[in-house]
Amino acid sequence: MSNKDEQMKRARAATAAELRRMARSFDWSRNPEPVLGWMMAQKGMDLSSALVVFFNGDPGRFNYLSKREVPQEFRGAARVLDNICLRVNSGFYRARQGQKLPARARLDAWLDFQAADRAAGRRGRWILDEGIIETALRGKRHPAMAEETADIGALRPLQGPGAVQGFLAELLGPGLGERLLRVLPRRGSDGLR
């Protein structure tokens, strides 16, 4: 059995908490794409762990290189960083209640560099969505993805005028949902919402 196979076997047998610990201490020089990539795609992975793993991958090394400029031996690691960034920005990784962020100093420095890049008209390869991160870390708790369950009986069909807008407002939460409702057409003599 190869080292990669052994790592995958251990990862697949791990609990969510064990998997988070394994990912945080993963050696990026050892098969990051198949093994760490699989770990980071699991529902039990949280935002804090994802950010620690992201910064452990030293994204600054390749942040201003095009995909073709990244040396071949580091392309797997760069793809793992791509996927972590995409998942952070999509809200895949959720903050757990009481979660502390050990990567906070690195995160703040990264966000400062992003802001400086924006001001200078540049952009790196990995841009973390400040809004998603700050909302998650302010303590607005979302259930961890592994804890989510679908109660089919609790699902409501989208019916009636404004149902889609109402659904979006509920999905996007207060503030953003209200702003969205202000820009959507209102129901009037033309039959719109």
Model pLDDT for residues 18-45, shown as the tens digit of each residue: 999 999 999 998 777 899 999 999 999 9
pLDDT in tens, 50-88: 999 999 999 999 999 999 999 999 999 999 999 999 999
Say how many Å lie between the first and final Cα of the chain, rounded: 62
Report in angstroms the alpha-carbon separations of 3 from 6, 100, 191.
5, 32, 64
Query: One-letter amino acid identity for 187?
Result: R
Where does the pLDDT of residue 139 fall: very low under 50, low under 70, confident under 90, or very high at 90 and above? low
Residue 100 has pLDDT above 50, yes or no: yes
The torsion angles phi and psi of 110, rounded to 5 degrees, stand at -65, -45
CA distance 155 to 165: 16
Residue 171 has pLDDT above 50, yes or no: no
